[in-house]
Structure 1
Amino acid sequence: MKESDKSLGVAVLGCGSVGSQVVRLLQEQAGDLAARVGAPVELVGVAVRRLDAAREVEVPEGLLTTDAAALVARDDVDLVVEVIGGIEPARGLILSALEHGASVVTANKALLAEDGPTLFEAAEKAGRDIYYEAAVAGAIPILRPLRESLAGDTVTRVLGIVNGTTNFILDKMDTSGAGFGDALQEAQDLGYAEADPTADVEGFDAAAKAAILASLAFHSRVTASDVHREGISEVTAADVASARDMDSVVKLLAICELRPGADGGEDAVAVRVHPAMIPRSHPLASVREAYNAVFVESEAAGQLMFYGPGAGGSPTASAVLGDLVTVARNRLAGTRGAGESAYAARAVLSMGESRTRYHVAIDVDDRAGVLATVALAFAEHDVSIQTVRQEGRGDDAQLVVVSHEATDAQLSATVAHLRTMDIVRDVTSVMRVEGVAE
């Protein structure tokens, strides 16, 4: 380890929208960073795919390299910042950096959600840090509060809007009445959505973040494959309008919660990502455009909410630099921060065991006895109805049913039953309802 009167060498892997801002901040705030860390923090190399690519910031001559593997193995590299994303080569580079004695700061949500334990074990073996605040919700400090500030509390639920693209789309559908396609096109025109928006609109991005949040909140290993995932591409303008009629909005939510285990056994973890209706009175309902927010419930602290820009080069770089300062301080002090906490090793419930409320829109024949027959179908699967609204439309009618809390398996069985009934022309919409006390 270097002495405090010597500089700490930093290697940055990737120089895209986030990496370029990390490079800029390292240069512009060098004096302040040295004062905060207790030693100069010196940028010694930036790994890129192409040396001649256009960049948002000017990288000092001689620092660019296409040989990332050689960079992380250098003796003068004490800290590695990984912002290239994806699984490989990021995983191999991080493992190599740790093996060669560097501490790591990463924003790689996909890798952490798929293979976080391998990284944490490598860091433990090397006696080095791996920090990753920037992997979830951009500039919003949410992972460190879960890992440190709430370490003495019992977190029971984490409910979040953790993808700015989908929040922008759903917000536009709510405020303008636009359909999904038009709202997506506007998001792409404004740069909020990629040309291929699949990772965002189908919920893959949010699912990776949900796995990380659940792992930290409940001290258990949760991977992206454990997360039930549904995107927003099937959300219609009619769904959004129906939510508005209930004084609610539709949001893509990442939901992580503790639930009683089978037969009253040990608590288990339920993790899911899907669109849901939430009342406009709920704090998350006011989260507009591309912003993110995470709502945390715990036994002692009660309800906490973290809000801010959830993506973008500069906001994400802010979170990276915050981790970098902490890791650098630990390096100087000869210590390391808290590693993985997975002691609880709780089981992860299947989606069928998850419980919530439901909004179901059903096109039916408009004749006597239909409502009673539909209600009986719900009762047969132990799904209790809270409210029902009927609208006549000539020869047919629409029933809008809002249930009390039930398991996903019960609701799925109810919907399957409804679709076999002669009086039911179509089940046009099934959407979960969150944020409402029973």
Structure 2
Amino acid sequence: MSALAASTADDGTIHLATVKVRSFKVPIVLGVVTVLLAALFLFVPRSGESTFRLRDSSSAIALPDVVLNTALTSWVIVVLLALLTAYSAWLAWNYERTPLWLTVAFGSFGVFAFLVWAGAGGLVPVSSLLVGAVSLSVPLVFGALGGVIGERAGVVNVAIEGQFLLGAFSAALLSSITQNPFVGLIGAMIGGVLVAFVLAAFAIKYLVEQVIVGVVLNVLVTGLTGFLYGALLVPNETELNRPVVFERIKIPVLGDIPILGPVLFNQTFIVYLMFIAVAVVSWGLYRTRWGLRLRAVGEHPQAADTVGIRVNPTRFWNVSLAGAIAGIGGAYFTLVSVPQFGKEMTAGLGFIALAAVIFGRWDPIRASLPALLFGFVTNLQNLLTVLRTPIPSEFMLMLPYVVTILAVAGFAGQIKGPAAAGKPYIKG
């Protein structure tokens, strides 16, 4: 990696020079993970064979099960992880960044090694594991997209949790009344926009500290939805808290592809909408006038103002858009995952989505990857319980959050977000 350094000559001339900086943060994290896996396999050895089931009941193409020797496969992958770690350290020594493909490959092989160890004498249903991971990741991806748009516009969207909750409540209520999940989805988007509207009003117009406003909004929405749940939904549960949910839509031919077919092409409308949203936001952020203006007001609002961009209105409407997208994530809770609203049902996932934004370096695609990681680890926790691994149940409950913290602290590092994020703009 490199950075610019400035020096001033005797005649007052300023010279810029490139200074190379070594960063071993990623190699250290990779090394720690490798050592932990090796210690696990060494001190808690498991013998026998691990069976991976590749076929799915909904797939027309049946693949045979893959049977692997548990101990041999685990140690072979540990050696491979050590080689990847060494390569990452070599890149760092030569002032180069660890490429994304290496960290993705390391994570994939590491998870596979752990599954081989955990599945000793048992069965690992690959398709079911991946389908569950995607399902658990959907609200996080929408929340991360909302966080990316908000912070790229210069407003730290700490209120994702509140947007989730009000979106889930509105979706359950309107879908129950109209018996139409699409009306519930629109209601969830409106709920997310309402929370974002309040955040934008206080942060942009009244110049209140954005993080404080976001935290207060989360508490407010939690209390409001909890009150409405007890006062409105509980006494009228049949009429107001029985939403019509989205059914799975299987795409012909594609849905029968082994392993990936059930994961990508046999999903609900909201999951397909998630795929489209990630692609559209990623394309729009870097390829359109909207994205250019959005990034301009988040990076250098003064410069944007000088070329005629209305900074505060641009921020306001983009924060509202971010709220609408996060509201769709809230709708997933009641229109797909759990067909009923419950108090505090989002369980703090809005803050995990905010962590995904940081880990993803404020990029839509990169932010979606840690969201998928969290969903996978959460679903893996359930599988480990079924496989009866010798890992304490308390550790498995905290496993998703530990992985998220390690990912943000290790791979995100000391990165810088949009320069003007969290800073109100005062014209003049």
Identify the TM-score tier after normalising by the shorter chain: under 0.3
TM-score by length of 1: 0.25
- TM-score of the two chains, using structure 2 as the length reference: 0.26
Greater helix share, structure number? 2
